[in-house]
A and B are shown apart, each in its own frame.
Chain A
Amino acid sequence: MSTDFNLPVGPFHPLLEEAEFFKIKLEGEVVADIEMETGWMHRGIEKISEQGTFDQSIFAVERICGICSASHPFACVNAFEDIDDTDVPVRARYVRTMVGELERIHSHLLWLGLAGHFIGYDTLWMWAWKYREPVLDIIEKTTGNRNHYAMFRIGGVRRDYDNSLSAELNEKLDYVERKLTMVAKAAMDDPVLKSRLSGVGVLSKEAAINYCAVGPTARASGIAIDVRKDEPYAAYDLVEFDVVVQEAGDVFAKTVVRILEIFESIKIIRQCIKALAKVSGSILNDVESIPAGEGIGRHEAPRGEVFHYIRTDGSNRPVRHKIRAPSYVNIPTYKASCVGENLADVLITLAAVDPCYCCTERSVRLQDDHGKELTESLLKRSQDRTDELIRELGEYKAWRYL
């Protein structure tokens, strides 16, 4: 009897709520080959962007992903600014950097929690997501939104950073750093986790180069690439930070890279807050038109380099807008990292490149000034507010307003 077996995984992924389909060919319990099919999430964003004006392009690319909702507009404005060498005010550069780094922290924490959950370490999952909340609070305070920050404009940012928030933000960052130090120890020093993930799903340096891998996937295989250092943009040439590199290429190395990057990001945000207290002036160099030309913009997103190529013809919309997200080059590395592995190790190896999925669920405790829980009375508060609006405006206007 043949021991060959084909195992279909997906298209509704058993781990991440994302549509990808894997055909795993098994010999006994060992993976002989893995094939991937994609396309379920294709929305034609490049085409949508080419049909809209420049500002609408930024709006469209922000919606490629909920987690990377700063990364795509960041790379997109970099590409537009590359066409005409647009100058960006220093204050706006710091604000952009701060938003990019806050996103990196919450994205890495999201992954760390999920990785813990996938291997049955639910305490890590709950901790990582618990301490992701204050990071999202900081993002909400500075940008107005937890996701889809709408901060990026060609030539600057849409909203200024409020310097009066600095004391509170520093306090929150101290809290997050203290708690994450504990979480980092719980992950990196845990002997069970270490033995579960070490030597699993190894992506060799040669394979990572050949597959053109980027971000933590490449850095965990000993390739020291990081757009923030290689071609500094925004305020990355004005702040100090280290690029985290590990040599082993296994799932544990990818975990360590992401955890250590969180602390580098906190370091960068602190420097931005400090600099923003001193740097004043405009946040926008208003660009009236973009000449005909071509531009490349990129940003080191949490998952690696986001690449945007834009060609313009002097009109108010792009002729061609090419977008390459980091998962696009990282996902094919599965072929190198999964073959030869045991089936039980495949799913965590698939999750280890952090394939992207949207998370906008909101789970936060609401308290009033005296610390009283408001969550229970939330529905009633919402109904009272609606009644109040109807009384103020009349029913017709109130419903239009709502």
Chain B
Amino acid sequence: MTERVREIMSILASESISVDHEKRKRIYFTVKPEQIRSICQRLSSENLRLSTMTAVESLRRFELIYHFSDDRTGYYFCPRVYTGLENPEVPSISNEIVGASWIEREIHDLFGVAFHGHPDLKPLLKEDNENIPELPLRVKRREEHVD
């Protein structure tokens, strides 16, 4: 682990964030939704590049992974945020990182996650396209699975 990676890890430790798992050059850690904006801002100010965000729907909760690339060391720092399955919502980071705007619009479009504070959360892919079903990447509604 290089000096720079240790530096970034100490930033996370100062916010009392513990690492979920670390493998080769991938570091995954969980943060609370109310922390995500400040953490992303800290990582961005350390010249980490937001590569993209991944939304994952599991049985009991909804998960968002932010992939930050440290291009100097080749490390990926990935904060995760968990939110409820019904009406998932997290704070938007588009005002801090302009590049997140399209990513949040797409996740809102395909998964229905509300990003609070996004300047213009209009559909990215589905606008005026009635051929794409409602929230296409969500698992089918739970009630249909129950019976």
Residues of chain A having any CB pair with chain B under 8 Å: 37-40, 42, 44, 46-47, 82, 85, 209-214, 225, 227, 230-232, 294-296, 298, 305, 307, 309, 311, 319-320, 322, 324, 328-329, 332
Contacts and interface: CB of A to CB of B under 8 A. Distances in A.
Contacts of B52: 307, 309, 322, 324, 328-329
Contact of B102 (A232, A307, A309, A332): A332
Given A38-B124, A46-B137, 11 more contacts: A39-B125, A39-B132, A47-B136, A209-B49, A210-B98, A214-B49, A230-B72, A230-B74, A305-B51, A307-B52, A320-B54
A212 B51 contact: yes
Interface stretch (B2-10, B11-19, B23-31, B81-89): B23-31
B74 A231 contact: yes
A227 B69 CA distance: 10
A82 B24 contact: yes
Interface residues of B, number: 36
B67 interface: yes
A interface SS class: mixed
B98 A231 contact: no
Contact of B99 (A38, A210, A225, A320): A210
A332 B51 contact: no
Interface of B: 23-26, 28, 47, 49-52, 54, 56, 65, 67, 69, 71-74, 76, 78, 97-102, 123-127, 129, 132, 136-137
A44 B136 contact: yes
B54 A309 contact: yes
Contacts of B125: 38-39, 42
Contacts of B69: 305
Contacts, number: 80
A85 B136 contact: no
A44 B97 CA distance: 26
B24 A85 contact: yes
A378 B134 CA distance: 49
Contacts of B49: 209, 212, 214, 225
A307 B54 CA distance: 11
A311 B28 CA distance: 13
Contacts of A311: 56
25 contacts: A37-B127, A39-B123, A39-B125, A39-B126, A39-B127, A39-B132, A42-B132, A44-B136, A47-B137, A82-B26, A210-B97, A210-B98, A211-B99, A212-B51, A212-B97, A212-B99, A213-B99, A232-B74, A294-B28, A296-B26, A296-B67, A309-B54, A309-B67, A322-B54, A329-B99
B101 A320 contact: no
A230 B127 CA distance: 37
Contact of A332 (B47, B71, B99, B132): B99
Given A296-B67, A332-B102, A324 B51 contact: yes
Nearest to B51: A307
B71 A230 contact: yes
A210 B126 CA distance: 25
A210 B56 CA distance: 25
Contacts of A322: 52, 54
Contacts of B136: 44, 47
A301 B52 CA distance: 16
B140 to A, nearest CB: 12
B138 to A, nearest CB: 11
A93 to B, nearest CB: 16
A39 B102 CA distance: 12
A212 B49 CA distance: 6
B37 to A, nearest CB: 16
Contacts of A46: 137
A236 to B, nearest CB: 11
Contacts of A294: 28
Contacts of A231: 25, 74
Contacts of B102: 328-329, 332
| A211, A212, A213, A307: most-surrounded residue (chain B CB, <10 A) | A212
A307 B69 CA distance: 11
Nearest to A40: B129
A123 B102 CA distance: 37
Contacts of A305: 51, 69
Contacts of A210: 97-99
B24 A332 contact: no
A258 B28 CA distance: 35
Contacts of A213: 99
B65 A309 contact: yes
A231 B102 CA distance: 26
Contacts of B51: 212, 298, 305, 307, 324
A371 B24 CA distance: 55
B129 A39 contact: yes
Contacts of B72: 230
A210 to B, nearest CB: 5
A46 B132 CA distance: 14
